[in-house]
Copies of this chain bind each other. A is one copy, B any other.
C-alpha cells in the first residue's frame, strides 16, 4: 500500500564517508531487540550506543507523579546515545523498544574513541543532535496545542515510517500510555480515524489504509519534523 522507502540499514551510518563507515561497522555488532526491552534508564551510564536498523525505540520522560510520556521516537534515521557525542556519559531519558527488530550496537568506549579518530563522525552526529533538539522542542508545543486525534495520527505515521508494512501491533491502552492520555480518549480518536477510513483496527492491530489522508488528519508537526531532518541531514 505505502510507497515509503524501507531501507534495511541505518541512515546515519549510510551518510558517513565510506572510509569512516567501514571502520565503524567493523566495531559494530548486530543485535536483536524484543518489544518492551528497556535499552537504557534515565540517568544511567550508556554501555552501548545503538544505530537502529529495523527496530525502533521510544524515548520516555518521567515527570514526578505522572506516567512516563513519550517525547521521541528513534528508528533507522537516528541513534541512541547522543549524550556521548556531547561528552556526557549518562542517558537523559528512558529508552524502550517499541518495535522489535535489529540494531547495530557498539560499546560506549569504542564509540568514544571512534569519535576522536574520525571527526567526520562527530560532525554528522552533532548535526543529528541539532535535529533532535528541534524535534523535542516541537513535540512539546504539539503536546500543548494539538488534539489527541491529530497527535494520534502523527504518532501512527511516525511509527509506520520506522516499520515494515502497514500493520502496527498495538492496543489502545498502549497508545494511551505513549500519548500520555486516557485509554478511552484513544478509543474515541481511533474511532474517528476509522470512520474516515484512514485506519482500521481490531484487538491490538492497527492497519493504515490511507497515508495521505492520515497526514491531513495529523498535525503539521509530522511534516515539520520530517523537514527538520531533511534540511539538516541531507548531505
- Residues on A facing B (Cβ under 8 Å): 61, 63-64, 66, 69, 71, 83, 85-88, 92-93, 123, 126-127, 129-130, 132-134, 136-145, 180, 220-221, 224, 232
Contacts of A130 in B (CB 8 A): 83, 86-88, 92
CB <8 Å contact, B69 and A144 = yes
CB <8 Å contact, A93 and B129 = no
Minimal Cβ-Cβ distance residue in B for A220: B64
Q: A87-B123, A143-B140 are in contact. Are A92 and B134 (CB under 8 A)?
A: yes
Interface centre among A63, A69, A180, A232 (most CB of B within 10 A): A63
Set B129, B140, B221: member contacting A71, Cβ < 8 A: B140
CB <8 Å contact, A220 and B137 = no
Q: For the complex, what is the distance from the CA of A170 to the CA of B225, rounded to whole Å?
A: 33
Pairs across A and B, CB under 8 Å, 23 listed: A61-B140, A63-B142, A63-B220, A63-B221, A66-B141, A69-B144, A71-B141, A86-B129, A86-B130, A87-B126, A87-B130, A88-B126, A88-B130, A88-B232, A92-B134, A92-B137, A93-B137, A133-B133, A139-B140, A140-B141, A140-B143, A141-B143, A143-B143
Contacts of A86 in B (CB 8 A): 126-127, 129-130
| Given A71-B141, A87-B127, 9 extra CB contacts under 8 A | A63-B145, A71-B140, A87-B126, A88-B126, A92-B133, A129-B133, A137-B140, A140-B141, A140-B143
Q: For the complex, what is the distance from the CA of A71 to the CA of B69, rounded to whole Å?
A: 18
Minimal Cβ-Cβ distance residue in B for A66: B145
Q: For the complex, what is the distance from the CA of A137 to the CA of B135, rounded to whole Å?
A: 10
CB-CB nearest 7 A-B residue pairs: A140-B140, A86-B126, A143-B144, A86-B130, A63-B141, A88-B130, A64-B220
Report the minimal beta-carbon distance from A125 to chain B, rounded to whole angstroms.
Answer: 9
Q: For the complex, what is the distance from the CA of A61 to the CA of B138, rounded to whole Å?
A: 8
Contacts of A71 in B (CB 8 A): 137, 140-141
Q: For the complex, what is the distance from the CA of A50 to the CA of B62, rounded to whole Å?
A: 32
CB <8 Å contact, A136 and B140 = yes
